[in-house]
Structure 1
Amino acid sequence: LLPRDPDGSAEKLAARLCKITGKRIAVIITDTFGRPWRLGLTNVAIGASGLPVLLDLRGTCDRDGKPLTATVLAVADELGAAAGLLMGKAEGTPAVLIRGYRFKPASEKAARIVRPASEDLFR
């Protein structure tokens, strides 16, 4: 069952983990997602707390000096998908600890990732 408020659940879990460990720990809650035009399933973030869910690289340059004009990374989705590979789908592993990803703490919500209806081709 999915939480009624995934972002709120992520925030509560992050606060509890901070209380237990004394450390700020970002939390991503995921669900399995089918993608248009692609076979296979992946995990996407449905809840998040403590990290930027999107990383806007527009206005920066790639390694060849070419400006990025459309690149906005779905960080929470990508980390959630990586965690999904480690959790598996039927193994019953409910959590993965990801280390080494560097980010500035943020209070963004996974709801921010959802494309507005005016830009959605599938609604």
Structure 2
Amino acid sequence: MIKIIPIRGIPEVKYGDDVGEIIINACRREGIELQDNDIIVVSQVIVSKAEGNVVNLDDIIVSKHAEQLAALTGKDPRHVEVILRSSRKIVKVKGGVIITETKHGLVCANAGVDLSNVGEGKAALLPEDPDKSAQQIRNRIRDLTGLDVAVIICDTHGRPFRRGTINIAIGCSGLEPLWDRRGEKDLYGRELRSKVTCVADELASAAELVIGQADEGTPAAVIRGYRYE
């Protein structure tokens, strides 16, 4: 049986905080006993806060390009400037949405620059190296508990031609993000030729059911019972 357990009671995270230790302390307060092979799903925003990837919009000098896009989209020009600085290129602009390719190679709205859950007048950028961030949190949990867990850093993304957003994995450590089933047989003996499942995305999306994106104040969750490699 797969269980998804919210990790509540995580305090406001600030620059320099130890996310791994914060998660362990919250688990202890909530009576959650972590186990080997648990999967810890962590919202990107607390990782960005701890790593200092938060900017004050009042400190941003706005370029002419940002002003033009702001007029086109109705966004705050300072927000647009941060989006541009976080992007390799603009993929599409339509309505109030700016789709970009981030410096990580992700294609998403607003380069993943988040104005929610960071305080008035601030914006959170994506972690510079989400896989490294996940590895550091995993190592810290192992140092503090002796347990071997997997860690996924998640963020909310939209989907082409689909309404609504879902959580996806932007970084992970301790598990293979893809499950390649090509070469296996289906129920009728037909060989699978293109079946590659993004397990990390599916786990991140499942965790969002208890993490939430509004005022839940629950930026992490434990997934238990899923067998992974």
The normalised TM-score by structure 1 is 0.81
Hey, what does 2:183 align to over in structure 1? 59
Kindly state the Cα deviation for residue 5 of structure 1 after the two structures are TM-superposed: 1.3
Kindly state the Cα deviation for residue 64 of structure 1 after the two structures are TM-superposed: 2.9
Alignment map for 1:16-95 (pairs within 5 Å): 16-90=140-214, 91-95=216-220
Among all aligned residue pairs of Structure 1 and Structure 2, give the percentage whose two residues are the same amino acid.
Answer: 54
Hey, what does 2:79 align to over in structure 1? none
Kindly state the Cα deviation for residue 65 of structure 1 after the two structures are TM-superposed: 2.2
2:138 to 14, 24, 41: 14
Hey, what does 1:118 align to over in structure 2? none
Hey, what does 1:96 align to over in structure 2? 221
Number of residues of Structure 1 aligned to a counterpart in Structure 2:
104
**Which structure dedicates a bigger proportion of its chain to strand?**
2
Q: For each residue in 1:40-71, what CA deviation from the matched residue of structure 2 results, as whole angstroms up to 9, or x when unmatched?
A: 00001001000000000000012332211110
The normalised TM-score by structure 2 is 0.44
CA distance in 2, matches of 1:63, 1:29: 35
Q: Which runs of 5+ in 1 are unaligned?
A: 105-123
Larger radius of gyration: 2
Q: Which amino acid aligns with 1:6?
A: P
Kindly state the Cα deviation for residue 9 of structure 1 after the two structures are TM-superposed: 0.5
Hey, what does 2:104 align to over in structure 1? none
Q: For each residue in 1:3-52, what CA deviation from the matched residue of structure 2 results, as whole angstroms up to 9, or x when unmatched?
A: 12111100000000111121111000011000001110000100100000
Q: Which runs of 5+ in 2 are unaligned?
A: 1-123
